[in-house]
Structure 1
């Protein structure tokens, strides 16, 4: 990393929303502690600082109302748990069952989703801090101070939001553009017959992250509250978001059939090289767009992409002239279809650049969105969700029980061995524990590494420096840095949390080295409890619930295919039902990719049917890619009337998918009867293509070297739709026979 890149990285970090939240937390804590110190009211200052600290994790962007209610819920739960913990001070062994119920109940709230899990985190931290003796004698006054501190943080955070209302959305759009650019870059590498398995895995992981960003952007841009007062700038941001979603769909769509691409690469490698350059350049354009959003860089326009498109067109013309015609016609059509998809992506990027160049202008921008609330993923907060998950079949129920058991075990260890600051063990368990083994294992490793790094650095500073003012400055800096790194760099966050704790204790007691020793020891004990607990206490293994995830992907792909079929039959404007089916298919695929990723992190003995799961994941992803290719072509071209043969092919594909669902112990919906056999359909499609081929030959006989545009579009339609239908059928057949490794390898 050179100096310019380092400077850019630092500026991006300091101007980011994560750093801003860390700064708000530091201001809220330092202000109340300083006021408490100078007014000789430290109990108030400490209580309010704890309140700010408890509410801060729930300060995640999104719908303003949801954000506010989430933080207020965190205040209420934090205060309630603090009072309960403070009142339970009569007999340690008699208190344990009560603490078990409290820990379980608080953890079980996370069944309501991501925002609820942050409220849960606050409640668990508050319950742990109730053992720290930081609140003085009057527990109710301490709880009041915590509530005031939480409200103080909410006020500061809301002021920041009013001052920079669009910053978070801009960062989300920038991150989405950046990851979409990376996605295209990986897609370009997939055109080469090298390390495809590695690139596919990278692509799965990228799509998980992109799906999360899309969901966050939908909430930020399409929520009803923002719709009622949407600015021109917001409407332009919606346009950019729509284009980014379409770019992802086009990116997923090509290349799909790697066998065809490999054949083309052997026959005409220059074209694949040129296409790869073109895709990589579009990835770079998206990365530049992300810099405009995140770093505030000036948008620069180049015509390099257009030049690369011309180069590909020239290569296609060269191929036409050098190869025998009409034998080379199918290959030329394949080339043109590949180029058409890249041209559409180029147009989408140009649209983003045009909107981005005028994003602050006052001229009206009309964005017609029918029922935008349909695109938001709702959260059901009814009691029924608790009831449905109150069983050992629920991952969250098992996690809550496991966490409660480990927390009680941590309390017993601290009590029996009389450990100093034993509540650090509980804090470590709360921070590390996740519902599944893979994430907990990864977080345990990062926590230990970060704590050891922080401990080593802290020893060096404590031995060299003995100035309380420097400790205060370093404590504040480490607090801001730790909180801003929490989501994206957990090793760094753990290191700076350790530094913060050491510097704070160094201000209160002379022997800071002992603090470091206990900090590292308690972290190791807590991490060990979390890791072993997830492995041996009511463990949740992915293979147990993977059938539901697989079935969900296939069901969503079926819905997407049906919407494509309906659109091809009816033409007209794209419906919300189509867009929703596409969104749900992408999200379901992301969930399957995440499940596959978690499976790969589990012990080898628990990775049951791992190879089958990998094949399922790749086949489903390939099927979705082919659907995206088919849908994109039909949407962007004036297509001919759909025939009964098209519908019959779809029926054959749906039959294979339904058979796959039956194998996964699901009851699929009935499909309409197939009017034609597959061989009849193939004969019809070949006959239709031959008719078009004859028309082109007739044009050539008449001296028309350049194919007429209507005929070119019809030939491209015949080539692409027939190829995609055959490919979809082949993939659906392989999904039904996924246990056959030989069949899978023939396909790829």
Structure 2
């Protein structure tokens, strides 16, 4: 089984975009070096190859316009940093202060987001490489050739994108389907894992964060490029599949399970719960098979297992319905029916994706207005005010930039004082492993050290066994390809192959390559040590300082989603874009909170202040969002009755509790006290409605009907699910409000 999984992973790696992009980078770097070496001017080739290496990291998928200008900015930063450091290097007392300031401001540019951080990386790497004395060219010619190398990479990467325009998007859709399938499997486990639900819920937190990131990347790639280039058959197909995947995740989160009641039912009839679990597992398998269509090029498999399991569960529910009399049993029946309804909708969404994949030519048209498309994109504000707003020690990115600048300066001084050979490797280590948070920096430092050590051991063995320069050149190119193909998903492997690449290049240039390995490992240890110590001591960004703000944003997003559900319950009709937008924002906010909490768990125990409270906030917000999604999904997919005034009683009090929670987190009092709660009247109304429906059911059965009408069944489900969710939402909101800080 493990061998088969490893084989699949390896084949995906060979077919994936990471490896193809690494081939592209190697091709772009090797061509100018080969030509320059042929004409006995290797320095020209090295300069152009540096331009390729500086530009390549910013070549990330998404908005095509942002991608193009991002690479141009990376080229500009590379040239500018090379000129500044190159011309001032002879003047130490000018060079070091300038190096400090450039490191700070180039790193601070990362405040604009992920793409900007990769552009910053180009400038930082250019400064570091300026200390390496690579080549014999003048500063201005070296910088010009770096710019030419960057433009050369932009040209061939653009041509490559024209040849395989959809490949990366197809892989992201496959990864989303695969992670959503895993989310379903965890949900299935929760049905019977009575004593492990907390651990499974934490796994869901982490997984949902990854899925949200994929959703955002796909949205940008699909919707922004759709605006620019129009709608093709392929993009329509991908958009339909993506929408279904988003809905599947919502349905997975929205499962209306009362675990206490479910555990009690499992004691009496475990076989039925196992049927539900088998149904969820089977849908997970079908989603995994959909993922394999995108990731492995497999043909779609057909199966009737889901429909057969649904029929078996329906037959059991019908038998159960014929026997029940007591109120509690009746509530259990409605719970089973509601749960089955959600599973049916889940299955319908999976079938919808299967139809799109298997019948590409005859798919339905799907159109979005430009104004609607813009709403679903998460815009990045590139205005100057963002720099001004974050120019403070209170801002995490400001502290990160200042910390990195100080540590880089210390790294330079260590190299100068101890006269270390290739001391710029200390700076390279700092640049690639430093992150705004201590936890991420520490984790990346461990991987960097381990990878460098492994690469060093392998390099020593190969140097002893091989002494052929041609073999060194081939191995150097191969290790570069493997290093850049692994850098996103296997940093230990990437660090190992980068070390091999460096050693083989030096083996071509110097006779004593073994000394290079020794200095490489020493410098990596120094750089990693500086990074970890600096992250701990110099203006550290501990997550507990930011958690209140992240929790408040999540609660506000949930509140806005609740208001959108409330509004739709009153108006019905076509689902408005505003509803979808608020749902998206709530899911993203929950993902951000989960990610922040995960980062907190990676920090030293002494810095995990109020850990229990923050875990409660995270778990309760996840529960609240789950209940919200359940409520919204039911209202959307059923012919419900008009919303009563008592529905509004609950909604207003839930919103009040959430507002008070935000007040508690910000320690600012703005919310007025509610004078009339009217819960007794609301509860009496719900109980009265339930009695009326039971009387109608008894009447229909007395009239000789084999089973109650569909309209009555829907009304009973409505009063049970909506009332249960309202009570639950109120209880969760009350628990949030009452968390003591």
Fold shared by both chains (TM-score > 0.5): yes
Which shifted more, 2-11 or 286-295? 2-11
Shift of residue 95, structure 1, vs aligned partner: 2.3
Contact kept, 8 Å, 1:222 with 1:372, in 2: the verdict is yes
Counterpart of 1:554 in structure 2 is: 555
CA contact (8 A) 1:63 1:225 kept: no
Q: Deviations over 1:305-345 (max 9, x none)?
A: 11111121122223234444665221111100000000000
- Number of corresponding residues: 739
The Cα of 1:362 is off from its aligned counterpart by 7.4
Equivalent pair of 1:648/1:675 in contact (CA under 8 Å): no
Structure-2 change in CA distance of 1:358 and 1:666 (3 Å): farther
Cα distance in 1 for residues equivalent to 2:486 and 2:598: 23
Contact 2:324 / 2:330 at 8 angstroms: preserved in 1?
A: no
1:737 pairs with 2:738:
yes
In structure 1, the residue matched to 2:191 is 191
Alignment of 1:560-579 (within 5 A): 560-579=561-580
Give distance in 1, aligned partners of 2:363 and 2:604: 58
1:660-700 Cα shifts (integer Å, max 9, x gaps) = 11111266886997865111101101111110111001011
Cα displacement (A) at 1:230: 1.9
Partner of 1:271: 272
Distance 2:27 2:159 in 1: 13
CA distance in 2, matches of 1:405, 1:436: 16
Specify the SS of the correspondent of 1:510: coil
C-alpha distance after superposition, 1:194-218 (max 9, x if no partner):
3112111110000110010000010
Contact 1:46 / 1:134 at 8 angstroms: preserved in 2?
Answer: yes
Q: Against the structure 1 CA distance between its residues 226 and 11, is the aligned structure 2 distance closer, same or farther, given a 3 Å change threshold?
A: farther
What are the equivalent positions in structure 2 for 1:356-395 lying under 5 Å apart? Answer: 356-359=357-360, 361=361, 365-369=365-369, 371-395=372-396
Q: Does 1:245 align with 2:246?
A: yes
Counterpart of 1:89 in structure 2 is: 89
Match of 1:75 in 2: 75
Deviations 1:159-183 (A, max 9, x none): 1110011111101110100001001
Measured at CA, do residues 5 and 616 of structure 1 come closer, stay the same or move farther in structure 2, by a change above 3 Å?
closer
8 Å Cα contact 2:550-2:592 kept in structure 1: yes
In the superposition, relative to structure 1, how do residues 557 and 672 fare at CA in structure 2: closer, same or farther (>3 Å)?
farther
1:484 Cα deviation (Å)?
A: 1.0
Partner of 1:408: 409
User: Any idea what SS the aligned residue of 1:434 has?
Assistant: coil
Structure 2: runs of 5+ lacking an equivalent: none
State the match for 1:592 in structure 2.
593
Matches for 1:183-332 after TM superposition, within 5 Å: 183-192=183-192, 193-223=194-224, 226=227, 228-324=229-325, 328-332=329-333
Query: Any conservation in 1 of the 2:42–2:135 contact (CA below 8 Å)?
Result: no
Mapping 1:395-474, distance limit 5 Å: 395-474=396-475
Local SS of the residue matching 2:60: coil
Rate the CA distance shift 1:129–1:349 in 2: closer, same or farther, 3 A.
same
Gap change, CA 1:80 and 1:256, over 3 Å in 2: farther
Q: Which residue of 2 aligns with 1:746?
A: none
* Aligned residue number for residue 103 of structure 2: 103
Q: CA–CA distance in 1 between the matches of 2:287 and 2:293?
A: 10
* Partner-residue secondary structure (3-state), 1:435: coil
Residue 482, structure 1, aligned to residue 483, structure 2: yes
Query: How far is 1:93 from its partner?
Result: 3.9
Return the offset for 1:224. 5.3
Quick check: 391-400 or 369-378, which moved more? 369-378
- Paired position in structure 2 for 1:134: 134
557-566 vs 468-477, greater mean Cα deviation: 468-477
Partners of 1:625 and 1:314 lie apart in 2 by 28
Q: For residues 686-731 of structure 1, what are the alpha-carbon distances to aligned partners after superposition, in whole Å with 9 as ceiling and x for unaligned?
A: 1111101110010111111211000001100011000000110111
- Give, in whole Å, the separation in 2 of the partners of 1:342 and 1:517: 59
- Mapping 1:143-154, distance limit 5 Å: 143-154=143-154
What residue number does 1:28 align with?
28
Q: Secondary structure at the match of 1:162?
A: helix
Cα distance in 1 for partners of 2:673, 2:348 equals 38
CA RMSD in angstroms comes to 1.7
Is the aligned partner of 1:620 residue 2:601?
A: no
For 2:373 and 2:18, how far apart are their aligned partners in 1? 28
Distance 1:521 1:412, change over 3 A: same
Q: Following the alignment from structure 2 to structure 1, what is the Cα–Cα distance between the partners of residues 550 and 3?
A: 46
Deviates more, 1:91-100 or 1:700-709: 91-100
Whether the aligned pair in 1 keeps the contact of 2:226 and 2:235 (CA below 8 Å) is: no
Distance 2:734 2:673 in 1: 18
Residue 259 of structure 1 deviates from its aligned partner by: 2.4
SS at match of 1:124: helix
Deviations 1:550-598 (A, max 9, x none): 1001000000000000000111111111111101100110111011001
SS at match of 2:666: coil
Aligned to 1:50: 50
Is the contact made by 2:177 and 2:245 (CA closer than 8 Å) also made in structure 1? yes
Check 1:256–1:38 CA distance in 2 against 1; reply closer, same or farther (3 A cut). same
1:42-62: per-residue Cα shift (whole Å, max 9, x none)?
Answer: 121111100001111001001
Q: 1:716 to 1:493 in 2, by over 3 A?
A: same
Per-residue CA distance 1:402-434 (angstroms, 9 max, x = gap): 000000000000000000000000000000100
Q: Which residue of 2 aligns with 1:649?
A: 650
TM-score (norm 1): 0.96
Q: Deviations over 1:251-291 (max 9, x none)?
A: 00114432233233234322221111111111111111011
Q: Which residue of 2 aligns with 1:744?
A: none
Deviation of 1:191 after TM superposition, in Å, equals 1.6
Distance 1:327 1:546 in 2: 41
Q: Distance in 1 between matches of 2:323 and 2:703?
A: 21
Partner of 1:743: none
Rounded to whole Å, the distance in 2 between the matches of 1:212 and 1:407 is 31
Contact 2:257 2:339 in 1 (8 A): no
* Distance in 2, Cα, partners of 1:707 & 1:446: 62
Aligned to 2:494: 493
Per the TM alignment, residue 475 of structure 1 is displaced from its structure 2 partner at its CA by: 1.1
Q: 1:109 Cα shift? A: 0.3
CA drift at 1:8: 2.8
What is the distance in 2 between the residues matched to 1:179 and 1:565? 31
Asked if structure 1 preserves the Cα contact closer than 8 Å seen for 2:653 and 2:677, the reply is: no
Segments of structure 1 that go 5 or more residues without pairing to the other structure are 741-748
In the alignment, the residues of structure 2 paired with residue 520 and residue 260 of structure 1 have an alpha-carbon distance, to the nearest angstrom, of 58
| In structure 2, C-alpha distance between the alignment counterparts of 1:156 and 1:423, rounded to whole Å | 30
Change (3 A) 1:2 1:735: closer
Preserved CA contact (<8 Å) 2:255 2:630: yes
Question: Structure 1: how far apart are the matches of 2:163 and 2:16?
Answer: 14
Give SS of 2:467's match: coil
In 2, distance between residues paired with 1:208 and 1:500? 34
Determine if contact 1:630/1:721 at 8 Å carries over to the other structure. yes
Give the distance between the partners of 1:356 and 1:176, measured in 2 at CA.
16
Deviation string 1:582-638 (CA, Å, 9 cap, x unpaired) is: 011001101110110011011111100001111110000000000000001000111
8 A contact 1:83–1:143 mirrored in 2: yes
Q: Which residue of 1 aligns with 2:344?
A: 343
1:745 alignment partner in structure 2: none
Could you list the per-position Cα deviations for residues 12-71 of structure 1 after superposition, in whole angstroms to 9, with x for gaps in the alignment?
111111111101000011111111111222121111100001111001001111100000
What's the CA shift string for 1:633-665, capped at 9, x where partnerless?
Answer: 000111111110101111111111111111112
| Residue in structure 1 matched with residue 156 of structure 2 by the alignment | 156
Q: In 1, distance between residues paired with 2:608 and 2:98?
A: 37
Separation of aligned partners in 2, 1:134 and 1:246: 53
